[in-house]
């Protein structure tokens, strides 16, 4: 589904990604861990099409389509979804209007008419109960005045509404209390399917107790320096990142 080859990216004069390779097949869930500042969010932003990040080398393909050629909105319509590490507050734009516009943008892209009001509401109901998002939050301005945890739930709510092909979750677990972590994980698990793939960025093994990854990768200095199965996460939890850095330097 997703092929990333030799990806290099920079912001201003900072080289942040230095030859990153990753392949994700349909149905798979890949966890990406790594020290602060290693480039995890940068990878997520580059995948989603943030203009501030300049790709200087490499390629990214989604089901054979060159993603790097597309605008952020077109990538989303092709099925890429990024759950932000820091979701943005947009005063004055209602959450529901926002989602309706997004759903209809995708439908237009697929040659379908706008969604019927009744169908949209049914979907909203279904998806908000999936992540137990309070009805009041649903109706408010996008993320405005939401707590950290509520913002994260709202990301997964949006993901459920948009039914993307490739879901990139950037530290969705940070800021969640224990119950919320369980709820959000349940939501993510419910969305797992053989046609959908996930990249889950996290610092904590505990998320991976709920959302069990097929692969775990360590990102360091802008590239994947170690990959393994779900046991790798346990090993990292136990030993930290130093041993990997030592392996690298050896």
Partner 1 sequence: MTVLTDIFKSTLPPPTRKSERWKYSPISKLLNSTLSTDSSEIDGGFSNEIAPNPVEGLEAYRLVFRNGKFNHSLSDLPIAKGVICMPQSEVSGEDVPEFKNTYSKTEWVGELNESYHQDGLFLKIDRNIKLDRPVLIHHLTDGKDVASFPRHFVRVEEGGEVDVVVWSSSTKNSSGMYNGILEASIAPNATLTLEKVCNEDGKIYHFSHENIIQERDSKFKMHTFTVKGHWVRNELEIISRGKGTDSIFNGAFLPTGNEHVDNHTTMDHTSTDGTSSELYRGIMYGTSTGVFNGKVFVRPDAQRTNAFQQNTNIVADRGASINAKPELEIYADDVKCSHGCTVGQFDLDALFYLKSRGIDEKAAKALLVEAFLADVISSVPCTELREEIMKIYKERHGW
State which of residues 18, 41, 143, 154 lies at the interface with ligand ATP (CB under 6 A). Answer: 41
Q: Does residue 84 touch partner 1 according to CB under 8 A?
A: yes
Q: Does residue 91 touch partner 1 according to CB under 8 A?
A: yes
Q: How far apart are CA 126 and CA 141, in angstroms?
A: 20
Q: Does residue 110 touch ligand ATP according to CB under 6 A?
A: no
Binding mask 52-71 for ligand ATP (x = CB under 6 A): x-------------------
Name which of 85 and 172 has its Cβ closer to Mg ion. Answer: 85
Q: How far apart are CA 24 and CA 1, in angstroms?
A: 6
**Which ranges constitute the DSSP H helices of 133-177?**
135-139, 148-162
Q: What is the CA radius of gyration of the chain?
A: 18
Q: Does residue 93 touch partner 1 according to CB under 8 A?
A: yes
Q: Does residue 51 touch partner 1 according to CB under 8 A?
A: yes
Chain-centre distance for alpha carbon 157 = 13
Judged by CB under 6 A, how many residues of this single chain contact ligand ATP?
14
Q: Does residue 69 touch partner 1 according to CB under 8 A?
A: no
Residues paired with residue 215 on neighbouring β-strands, in sequence order? 30
Torsion 11-12-14-19 (CA) sign: positive
Contact 32, 223 (CB under 8 A): no
Contact 222, 17 (CB under 8 A): yes
From 39-47, 104-112, 189-197, 230-238, span contacting ligand ATP (CB under 6 A): 39-47
State which of residues 18, 42, 205, 220 lies at the interface with ligand ATP (CB under 6 A). Answer: 42
Q: Exposed e or buried b for every residue in 53-67, given b needs 16+ CB within 10 A?
A: beeeebebebeeeeb
Q: Does residue 41 touch Mg ion according to CB under 5 A?
A: yes
Residues that bind Mg ion (CB under 5 A): 40-41, 85
Residues that bind partner 1 (CB under 8 A): 48-52, 71-77, 81-82, 84, 87-88, 90-93, 97-99, 101-102, 105-106, 109, 141-142, 158, 162
């Amino acid at each position: 589904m997703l092929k990333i080859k030799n990806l290099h990216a920079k912001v201003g004069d900072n080289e942040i990604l230095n030859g990153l390779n990753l392949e994700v097949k349909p149905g798979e869930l890949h966890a990406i861990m790594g020290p602060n500042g290693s480039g995890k969010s940068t990878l997520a932003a580059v995948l989603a099409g943030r203009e501030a990040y300049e790709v200087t080398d490499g390629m990214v393909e989604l089901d054979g389509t060159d993603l790097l050629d597309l605008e952020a909105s077109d990538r989303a319509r092709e099925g890429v979804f990024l759950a932000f590490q820091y979701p943005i507050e947009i005063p004055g734009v209602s959450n529901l209007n926002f989602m309706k516009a997004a759903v209809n943008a995708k439908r237009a892209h697929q040659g379908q008419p706008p969604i019927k009001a009744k169908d949209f509401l049914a979907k909203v109901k279904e998806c908000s109960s999936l992540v137990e998002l309070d009805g009041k939050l649903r109706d408010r301005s996008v993320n405005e005045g939401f707590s950290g945890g509520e913002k994260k739930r709202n990301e997964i709510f949006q993901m459920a509404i948009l039914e993307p092909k490739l879901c990139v979750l950037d530290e969705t677990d940070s800021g969640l209390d224990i119950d919320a972590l369980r709820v959000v994980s349940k939501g993510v698990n419910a969305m797992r399917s053989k046609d959908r793939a996930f990249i889950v960025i996290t610092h904590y093994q505990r998320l991976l107790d709920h959302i069990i990854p097929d692969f775990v990768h360590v990102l360091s200095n802008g590239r994947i320096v170690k990959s393994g199965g779900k046991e790798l996460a346990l090993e990292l939890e136990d030993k930290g990142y130093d041993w990997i850095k030592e392996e690298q330097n050896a």
